[in-house]
Structure 1
Amino acid sequence: MIRFKWGLILFLVSILLSGCGENPAESVYHQLEAAVELEIPFEQQQAPLQKAELRENELFEQIIGLGMDEYEEIETLANEALESAQAREAMLQLEKESIEESFEQFQKVKKED
């Protein structure tokens, strides 16, 4: 009888302890949440990136509309367009890094399956 009680107690304790670990679904959820957090810089870059693209397009249209007798203005607009393109390149780099970090986090979830 004593063995049975100890066996039952041991069995119940092992069941309780096995329930203390993190649920696999919860683990995946937390990993995916971390991946979403890493994508925030990507999302934040969308509006400034779009604005820069529109500005560059406006500059291009202005340059096309000017004649060669307005060379100095063309040069000024071209320099502004180059600066805008460089700023946009930096934004794209941040966007790329954000996507890569999120992808790496997502791969961790995939490996746990």
Structure 2
Amino acid sequence: MNRLDRLIIIVTIIALLTGCGTKPEDELYRVFESAAKKEKNMFETTQKLQTLEVKSKQLYEEILIAGQENSENAKEYLTRAIKNTKEREKVLQEENKMLDTAYQRMQDTHKSIEYLEEAQLKKQAKVVSKAYADRYQAFRAMQSSYKKVLEAELVLYEKLQNTNETLKQISIQVKRVNELYVDVGAKKEAFNMYTKQYNEAKAAFYRMAKFEIESNV
């Protein structure tokens, strides 16, 4: 068998394998659901974060009351508040790792999208991919803002522990923390909006590809 014959056989085998391969829309479905699976614990971590936030607000109020009364309990509340802030930082890291992994999985969509033959299906797949990318960027912005909140809180607690700090300096830091929380709220709304857009775009793609599944929108 000469080289030309061997080359023809190899090309034929590749063509047969390609023809028998997974359809690009099926591969996209697998990638989308795989990414969703990597985010499956996001709800739990979000709930955990919200619970810690409620506790943080309670501790902050206790610190203010104890401080006004010159109570020794203020030190204990400050210690617990610092611990709470650090716990939220760990939850934040868990969320980051989770969504980073899902985002990396979504990068596998680009090649499959290009193999889609139906124009409308390809267009919708690109909409899904962009919606997820927008959602991811909104998530990163929200997490970055939240991290600044935690850093500002720790600075505030340090100032409250320092007897040399003036009331004005503490007030400035309190204002800083409150402003950052407003920013986090705005970025959280943006993330939720992009999440809704992504879920709607994905559900539309599934309908167009005739996947018989229940929509989560």
Structure 1 or 2: more helix by fraction:
1
Query: What is the root-mean-square deviation in Å for CA atoms of aligned residues?
Result: 1.9
Gaps of 5+ in 2: 1-14, 114-217
Runs ≥4 in structure 1, deviation > 4 angstroms?
Answer: none
TM-score in terms of structure 2 length: 0.42
Aligned 1:38-57 pairs, distance under 5 A: 38-57=38-57
3-state SS in 2 of match to 1:40:
coil
Cα 1:111/1:85, change in 2 over 3 Å: farther
Offset, 1:68: 5.1
The equivalent residue for 2:91 is 91
Mapped partners of 2:111, 2:98: distance in 1: 20
The equivalent residue for 1:29 is 29
Higher relative contact order, structure no. (Cα contacts within 8 Å, ≥ 6 residues apart): 1
CA contact (8 A) 1:41 1:94 kept: no
TM-score in terms of structure 1 length: 0.77
Q: Which has the larger radius of gyration?
A: 1
Q: Number of residue pairs matched?
A: 97
Offset, 1:41: 2.5
Gaps of 5+ in 1: 1-13
Offset, 1:110: 2.7
Mapped partners of 1:111, 1:79: distance in 2: 52
The equivalent residue for 1:6 is none
Offset, 1:99: 0.8
The equivalent residue for 2:192 is none
Mapped partners of 1:69, 1:105: distance in 2: 54
Identity of aligned residues (%): 23
Q: 2:45 is matched by which residue type in structure 1?
A: Q
